[in-house]
Structure 1
């Protein structure tokens, strides 16, 4: 059973660097074909 005491609670964020190759691996694994994940120019737009 899920712990519902955490629902709606906010937590601090922290920066996390991810290499492009890891993003590419993820989108290939999940089958997402959106070019913003693998094409730098598409992501800039």
Structure 2
């Protein structure tokens, strides 16, 4: 469990180096938005 968290943190740091933080934030929020809309579509049928 802890190792998975550490790997995720390491990946996040690497992506932060290559991608500007604002762009990363936009990508993450877009992912959450699509996931939420898909969830709503599933529940609403």
TM-score by shorter chain over 0.5:
no
Per the normalisation by structure 2, the TM-score is 0.30
Per the normalisation by structure 1, the TM-score is 0.30
Structure number, greater radius of gyration? 1
